[in-house]
Amino acid sequence: MPFTLHARLPGWHGVDHVGIAVPDIDVATQFLVEVIGCEQLISAGPFGAEEGDWMTQQFGVHPRARVEDMRMLRCGYGSNIELFEWSAPDQNKVPPKLSDYGGLHIALYVDDLQAAIDYLREKGVEVLNEPLSSTEGDMAGDSIIYVKTPWGGFLELVSSPNGKGYEKNTDRRLWHPARPGE
């Protein structure tokens, strides 16, 4: 069944990108391009304001904060990923845990979870624990695992080749990168 958008925001079509602040944009870009398979398409920066409060007004950050570099990457059939390398006098340099406010992860759908885990381990990526598979409820059929990125963030690998439990109860579907038009 084709997806019908129930937009409340005028003109809204979907998620364009997810922005992530990283400590070393070269390391983050290299990981996402060479290990994950994203493609860098845009680069911009540096920019900031030497005086006034434009950065605070525009981005809600310290007035002397600076974007040293920004890159936009296309990643498969999903949302783009925007990387920022910031500098700021009041910058918190400790990445948030998943349980912290502002903690986040990006989930990547894979057809074969074990093959993806093996590949990432071969590349030296820190894989957390073992896959977790859901057998009951709305998430039945879902298998996941988290991996740590070189900058201290998290990616989740997700696989549900036979669908998810909730699909038995509704004809509505979550967006799926393997079936983007549904």
User: In this predicted model, what pLDDT tens digit does every residue of 79-105 receive, in sequence order?
Assistant: 899 999 999 999 999 999 999 999 999
Tell me the pLDDT band of 5, cut-offs 50, 70 and 90. low
Closest CA relative to residue 83, chosen from 70, 68, 66, 67: 70
Q: How far apart are CA 175 and CA 153, in angstroms?
A: 24
Residue 86's φ and ψ, nearest 5 degrees, are -100, 155
Q: Are 128 and 110 in contact (CB under 8 A)?
A: no
Tell me if 9 is assigned to some domain.
Answer: no
**CATH number for the domain that contains residue 127:** 3.10.180.10
Model pTM greater than 0.85?
Answer: yes
Residues 74, 124: one domain?
A: no
**Structural domain span for residue 104:** 95-171
Q: Are 76 and 82 in contact (CB under 8 A)?
A: no
Tell me the pLDDT band of 179, cut-offs 50, 70 and 90. confident
CB atoms within 10 A of CB 153: 20
Tell me if 2 is assigned to some domain.
Answer: no
Question: Who wins on pLDDT, 11 or 133?
Answer: 133
Q: Give the pLDDT score at 38.
A: 98
Helix (H) / strand (E) element for 48: namely strand 47-48
Tell me if 26 is assigned to some domain.
Answer: yes
**pLDDT tens profile 150-178:** 999 999 999 999 999 999 999 999 988 88
What average pLDDT score do residues 11-34 get?
95
Tell me if 180 is assigned to some domain.
Answer: no
What average pLDDT score do residues 127-133 get?
97
Q: Are 76 and 108 in contact (CB under 8 A)?
A: yes
Closest CA relative to residue 128, chosen from 98, 94, 103, 102: 98
Residues 106, 142: one domain?
A: yes
What average pLDDT score do residues 65-89 get?
96
